[in-house]
Structure 1
């Protein structure tokens, strides 16, 4: 017998995170492009980010036929939040500067790169990155490299930089609860043995 899931956060009903998910306004628009393999992942952080931001949209797929239409948002300048050669570090908005439409690929590094490969329009976008990174709170996964963040952490840090002094840390409440729940489910000893080395 399968467990009943919340239709909004997709978590099992007994572990629903909806009470922890904020509804935050932002000048910045966030377009999350999620690889299909991430949809049923226990820590689906792109979905949490989309639910927590009023000016965000989550699209799931590999090839996005409507991508050009999604990227043409009047009043926004578009950037791909993804490291790479020539990527510029995000900086706080100055006065009436046009806000960003941040396109954020969601998946493992390999799957995110595949999204860029099979959607050539993404490769034409200017790349933007985070300058000084806060350390990841994702204590259950070994990062593939220095500065690797979950999608929700990257979005939160980007918004904190762009819209300073406003803070978007409330987006991380359900993420932190997910991590704590996973640790509790595996037991502290198992967590320490497998993740604190």
Structure 2
């Protein structure tokens, strides 16, 4: 029998993260497009990001039929947070800047994220933005596929911290860090050190 889960954060009730999830306002609209294979992942960081940001939403799927409507929402300039040769490095909003960004964030492995772009040509056509410097991931229980790879929630926090400085969105990482600490405790320190310790 499966343990009862919190409806909101989807964690088992005895590990509910809701008390740690903030409610942060942002000028930037954040839209997380999650590949269906990520929804059952123990560390569903896109969901945590969507819960902690007032101006954010999470959509799950492979083909997003209403993408055109979403991208033409008035008041925002849609961009795709994804590396690429033409990707512009994110910078803080200037005073003269008009519309804030709608940050479209694909959530999934690199392969799954690329598949989302391939299946949704409107995404592929968006201007791309990227982070100038990526802080090292705190995601210590999953080996990064390449240097500079971070979890979805970390990418969102780093992007918002750049765009909306001096505002700081680090509070969004609290439930994520608690999740990781919980996983390390569950696997035991020895196993963690052996598999993920600095070698």
Scaled by the length of structure 2, the TM-score of the pair is: 0.98
- Counterpart mapping for 1:1-197 below 5 A: 1-97=1-97, 98-196=99-197, 197=199
Distance 1:16 1:35 in 2: 23
Scaled by the length of structure 1, the TM-score of the pair is: 0.99
Distance 1:111 1:22 in 2: 28
Structure 2 residues not aligned, in runs of 5+ = none
Structure 1 residues not aligned, in runs of 5+ = none
Tell me the number of residue pairs that the alignment of Structure 1 and Structure 2 aligns.
197
Return the offset for 1:79: 0.5
Distance 1:178 1:96 in 2: 40
RMSD, aligned α-carbons: 0.7
Return the offset for 1:73: 1.6
| 3-state DSSP of counterpart to 2:69 | helix
Distance 2:147 2:19 in 1: 32
Return the offset for 1:96: 4.3
1:6-45 C-alpha deviation (Å, 9 max, x unpaired): 0000001111000000000000000000000011100000
Distance 1:195 1:135 in 2: 14
